[in-house]
């Protein structure tokens, strides 16, 4: 059974930092891009960041560019999201995902391009 499990969410003050991790089990995703999405209350899920299968290419939503950093450790089947300078508008449930295709050239940024999803972890940023 394939599982993606997020961890590291919590409550933090504005300006603070959190590091989210997503551990995969049941199969290896070393040849697939990994992504992070988020969903705030009353809003649609949105793209946050993605990293290609080798880790050599990343892409960020404009709203988090310069503040968030995505990384991966293929040996551990792990992807992480370092979030700095957090703002109240970053409050959301954060989901990790794994690409539906292997070794994609262009980093996927839409939900439809991802096949596997975690259950989400809550991030709350207080003002």
Whether the CB-CB separation of 16 and 31 falls below 8 Å is answered with no
Other Cβ atoms within 10 Å of 20 Cβ, number: 24
CB 81 within 8 A of CB 70: yes
Residue 22: pLDDT above 90? Answer: yes
Task: Pull the structure tokens for residue 41.
Answer: 């209350």
Mean pLDDT of the chain: 96
What is residue 4's predicted lDDT score, i.e. its pLDDT? 97
From the list 71, 61, 63, 57, the residue with the least C-alpha distance to 106 is 57
User: Which DSSP letter does residue 27 get?
Assistant: S
pLDDT at 99: 97
Q: Is the CA virtual torsion 81, 82, 84, 88 positive or negative?
A: positive
> Residue 47 — pLDDT band, cuts 50, 70, 90?
very high
* pLDDT value of residue 105: 84
Provide the percentage of residues in the chain whose pLDDT is more than 90.
98
Q: Which backbone phi and psi does 22 adopt, to 5 degrees?
A: -135, 110
CA separation, residue 42 to residues 19, 24, 39, 68, 92 (Å)? 24, 28, 8, 23, 10
DSSP code, position 107: P
The pLDDT tens digits of the residues spanning 65-123 come to 999 999 999 999 999 999 999 999 999 999 999 999 999 989 999 999 999 999 999 99
């Amino acid at each position: 059974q394939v599982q993606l499990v997020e961890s590291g969410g919590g409550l933090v003050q504005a300006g603070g930092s959190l590091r989210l991790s997503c551990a995969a089990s049941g199969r290896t995703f070393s040849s697939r891009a990994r992504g992070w999405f988020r969903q705030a209350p009353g809003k649609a899920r949105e793209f946050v960041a993605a990293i290609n299968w080798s880790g050599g290419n990343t892409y960020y939503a404009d709203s988090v560019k310069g503040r968030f950093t995505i990384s991966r450790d293929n040996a551990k089947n792990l992807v992480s999201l370092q979030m700095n300078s957090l703002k109240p508008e970053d409050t959301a449930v954060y989901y990790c995902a794994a690409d539906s295709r292997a070794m994609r050239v262009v980093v996927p940024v839409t939900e439809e391009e991802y096949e596997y999803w975690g259950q989400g972890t809550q991030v709350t940023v207080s003002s």
